[in-house]
């Protein structure tokens, strides 16, 4: 297999670019699609909006798949950036992300099934209200899968934080910030599933820590990494 040498600063900026695209695709559904389609406490209105904005809803499904692809590419670049720091933690970082990918495909399938059920292309023997109820049930399953995924959104940050802290080319305060960021995600997952009445409180208190990923992305994209002249990273 051919091996080429790439300067760590370029590798870090590639990670920053992938990080940026990953965040943008993730925010697309959260801040653009969902507010336009879903009406809190009104499943009928939400179902009508899915049909009214079907193409928009489908783009959010595809965007979710692109987000997963970008995340895999991102951790692949992170692995090559940090494996010389600690190969075990670099591999653990990859594992915590890759294990989530199948869930993205399941969520996409359920979302597509939602559209088909509402349009009467499946479950044809069911009444409209029954199809609406089932469609909303599919989306509820998606919502609860996100609550479980929040655990892994936190876990992947722990090895990344340790790698950053142990490295000599990214400021240690970012590693500390990501540790706190990861703890918040783990607590959000726990309270959402076990103590849902405390979820909003945890989210409100932990919000500042959740900007850790955004700050790391901007640092990598703008500053890259600090390396001595002549240093390089081997990419396979």
| pLDDT tens-place values along the chain, 236 residues long | 344 435 688 899 999 999 999 999 999 999 999 999 998 888 888 889 999 999 999 999 999 999 999 999 999 999 999 999 999 999 999 999 999 999 999 999 999 999 999 999 999 889 988 998 999 999 999 989 999 999 999 999 999 999 999 998 999 999 999 999 999 999 999 999 999 999 999 999 999 999 999 999 999 999 888 765 544 444 44
Residue 178 near residue 212, CB atoms below 8 Å: yes
pLDDT (0 to 100) of residue 226: 74
Ranges of H-type helices in the chain:
8-27, 34-37, 43-52, 54-82, 87-98, 101-119, 128-155, 157-166, 172-193, 199-206, 212-222
pTM: 0.88
pLDDT (0 to 100) of residue 2: 41
Distance CA 203, CA 206 (A): 5
pLDDT (0 to 100) of residue 219: 96
Q: Is 190 exposed, middle or buried (0-12, 13-18, 19+ CB in 10 A)?
A: middle
pLDDT (0 to 100) of residue 43: 82
pLDDT (0 to 100) of residue 178: 98
pLDDT (0 to 100) of residue 235: 46
pLDDT (0 to 100) of residue 9: 84
SS3 (DSSP) at 233: strand
pLDDT (0 to 100) of residue 145: 92
pLDDT (0 to 100) of residue 221: 93
SS3 (DSSP) at 5: strand
Residue 185 near residue 151, CB atoms below 8 Å: yes
pLDDT (0 to 100) of residue 6: 55
pLDDT (0 to 100) of residue 236: 47
Helix 212-222 × helix 172-193 angle, to 10°: 150
Dihedral sign for Cα atoms in the order 43, 188, 209, 28: negative
pLDDT (0 to 100) of residue 3: 42
Residue 205 near residue 157, CB atoms below 8 Å: no
SS3 (DSSP) at 41: coil
Distance CA 80, CA 62 (A): 28
Distance CA 5, CA 231 (A): 10
pLDDT (0 to 100) of residue 5: 39
pLDDT (0 to 100) of residue 121: 92
């Amino acid at each position: 297999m051919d091996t080429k040498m790439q300067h760590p600063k370029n590798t870090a900026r590639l990670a920053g670019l992938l990080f940026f695209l990953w965040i943008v695709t993730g925010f697309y559904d959260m801040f653009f699609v969902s507010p336009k389609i879903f009406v809190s406490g009104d499943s009928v209105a939400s179902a009508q909006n899915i049909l009214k904005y079907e193409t928009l809803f489908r783009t959010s499904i595809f965007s979710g798949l692109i987000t997963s692809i970008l995340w895999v590419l991102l951790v692949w670049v992170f692995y090559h950036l940090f494996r010389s720091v600690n190969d075990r933690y670099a591999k653990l970082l990859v594992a915590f992300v890759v294990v989530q990918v199948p869930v993205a495909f399941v969520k996409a399938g359920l979302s597509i099934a939602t559209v088909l059920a509402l349009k009467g292309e499946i479950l044809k023997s069911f009444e409209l209200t029954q199809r609406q109820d089932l469609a909303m049930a599919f989306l509820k399953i998606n919502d609860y899968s996100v609550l479980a995924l929040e655990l892994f959104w936190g876990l992947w940050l722990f090895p990344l934080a340790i790698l950053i802290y142990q490295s000599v080319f990214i400021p240690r305060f970012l590693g500390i910030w990501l540790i706190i960021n990861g703890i918040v995600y783990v607590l959000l997952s726990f309270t959402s599933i076990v103590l849902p009445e405390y979820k909003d409180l945890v989210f409100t208190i932990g919000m500042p820590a959740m900007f850790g990923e955004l700050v790391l992305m901007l640092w990598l994209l703008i500053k890259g990494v600090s390396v001595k002249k002549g240093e390089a990273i081997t990419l396979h």
